[in-house]
Structure 1
Amino acid sequence: MSLHTTVLGDHGSTIAFCHGLFGQGKNWTQIAKALSPDHRVLLLDMPNHGRSPWTETFDYVELADMVASHLEPEAPLALVGHSMGGKIAMCLALRHPELVERLVVVDVAPVTYASGREFVGYIDTMRQMDLTTLERRDQAEEALREAVPNPVVRSFLLQNLRRSDDGWHWQLNLDLLGEDMDGLVGWPDEKLGDTSYDGAVLWVGGAGSDYISDEHAAEMDRRFPRNRRVLVKGAGHWVHSEQPEVFLEVLRRFVR
């Protein structure tokens, strides 16, 4: 599977970015532009997102293998993943360690989370929108306003709405993501066996987020024994967009 990829920079070591749920590779553009004078930066659209192909099932191991196959010609490289993309990146490092020179995981742990109820609500609202009646993008924003009152989240979701010759459509594979939320919030522990990744790992969490906690430390250490953890003040789950300068400095030091 060939994934849609944007490349910035043409020399130096390679850094590849894997975005989270509802995202696209372009979400990392600000960070990538700052890194591009010294690195070759790859911004990937994950399967079922952006301009990359869709899959019939949601399985972190299968997704990681797809991303690994796409990145193999660029390896070894530094791999950065946020949230869903962080789980894909962790699985990739565990299954294909020869491809990953070092790993950065942003605000997610190698565990199954209790619920994706908030995400299901977003997906249901997007699926129920009658796109055939849309004439302008602001009409879509108004249709989302009640279910998604946060304007930042609403704008983020609407990045996935595209207009083509046959009308408006969502780039996301909403049916799959909505129907397999258990897989999305889960973690394929049994499929991964006792594997661990011995390369250097940096965990970057938001101090205001609950995606990483002390109770996750044992599993982090078991799977990724050479890890160090950084909590960024003034940031929640979207660390790299809420505190981009701090995130960039921490990342630069790690990949230098």
Structure 2
Amino acid sequence: MTLHTHTHLYEGAERRALAVHCTLGHSGAWRGVAAALKDDLSLLAFDLPSHGKSGVWDRSGNVHDVATDMARGLIEGPMDLIGHSFGATIALRIAVESPELVRSLTLIEPVYFAAVLVDEPELLEEYKRENAAMDAAFASGDEREAARVFNRDWGDGTPWDLLPERMKDHMTRLIHYVPASSAFLHHDSAGLLDAGRMERASMPTVLIEGDKSPPMSAKVAASLQKRLPNIERVVVEGAGHMLPITHPGAVVGPIQALLARS
């Protein structure tokens, strides 16, 4: 399906990057990173389907396909791709499927669980236990409770009770994105793990993670590190999953180093 794509250009240097935000976020999440990188590049950010001011996804088809097509449609010639969480999996997919469009690749806390579950299938039961509360909330139809649990596990550390009501409502409205993303994030619906595919993403790549993130984040990083041929891995001390927002300055150095070698 074709949706309206809302974009915001953080103007800076002539070099241009495309930034893809996380689930439940919006293009404004890149404000801090863009400001710190303004002497290096201009950052074109956009809102994912149903997020921010972009068109509403009608819940048909594969949402990762829809979001990836939206992102790919914004790339004019080789660009630097920067993605966070769900957005990082979109950047990764484009790098694998259309490497000619990607000058460099920055993956911040990619939630590509499928790679881990192939490498360590015994972790599936552990993962199910860790997500039992959210799965139970979805099964009961309580999307607000699912949003609360998601915020607890993958948010910036702000307790649910301290969030503004409008933010709670926003997260509840979009929480269906989590199970809808499972086809790609858990089951590799695009086949990126098929033999020989990851090697196509040979552009300079940096993977940035926080040392306070959920344990699965480090496992995803390790699985991608051994598959991508030109990757460096950076761990930010004291940061969690939302480090582009909570620690924007800490992600800038690794990105600048990546730009210098690409």
Q: What's the counterpart of residue 107 of structure 2?
A: 105
CA distance in 1, matches of 2:142, 2:212: 27
What is the number of residues matched between the two proteins? Answer: 231
1:157-196 equivalence runs, <5 A: 170=170, 174=174, 176-177=176-177, 180=180, 182-183=182-183, 185-188=185-188, 191-192=191-192, 193=194, 194-195=196-197, 196=200
Q: Structure 1 counterpart of 2:64, which letter?
A: Y
Q: CA deviation at 1:214?
A: 5.0
Q: What's the counterpart of residue 63 of structure 1?
A: 67
TM-score by length of 1: 0.74
CA distance in 2, matches of 1:204, 1:89: 14
CA contact (8 A) 2:23 2:177 kept: no
Q: What's the counterpart of residue 5 of structure 2?
A: 3
Q: Structure 2 counterpart of 1:64, which letter?
A: T
TM-score by length of 2: 0.72
Structure 2 SS opposite 1:213: helix
CA distance in 2, matches of 1:148, 1:212: 15
Q: What's the counterpart of residue 246 of structure 2?
A: 242
Using the TM superposition, name which of 80-89 and 5-14 deviates more: 5-14
Q: 2:28 aligns with which of 26, 29, 39?
A: 26
Q: What's the counterpart of residue 136 of structure 1?
A: none
Identity of aligned residues (%): 21
CA contact (8 A) 1:93 1:99 kept: yes
CA distance in 2, matches of 1:66, 1:236: 28
Q: What's the counterpart of residue 137 of structure 1?
A: none
CA distance in 1, matches of 2:242, 2:175: 24
CA distance in 1, matches of 2:12, 2:33: 16
**1:26-65 deviations in Å (ceiling 9; x for gaps):** 0111111222243111111112211112332334344223
RMSD: 3.5
Structure 2 SS opposite 1:72: coil
CA distance in 2, matches of 1:24, 1:43: 9
Unaligned runs of 5+ in 1: 129-143, 162-168
Cα 1:199–1:6 change in 2 (3 A) is same
CA distance in 1, matches of 2:166, 2:190: 35
CA contact (8 A) 2:225 2:233 kept: no
Q: Are 1:41 and 2:43 an aligned pair? A: yes
Q: CA deviation at 1:181?
A: 5.3
CA contact (8 A) 1:11 1:39 kept: yes
Q: What's the counterpart of residue 217 of structure 1?
A: 222
Q: CA deviation at 1:121?
A: 7.8
CA distance in 2, matches of 1:226, 1:118: 38
Q: 2:207 aligns with which of 203, 206, 210?
A: 203
CA distance in 1, matches of 2:79, 2:226: 22
CA distance in 2, matches of 1:215, 1:38: 29
CA distance in 2, matches of 1:190, 1:30: 32
Q: 1:90 aligns with which of 89, 92, 116?
A: 92
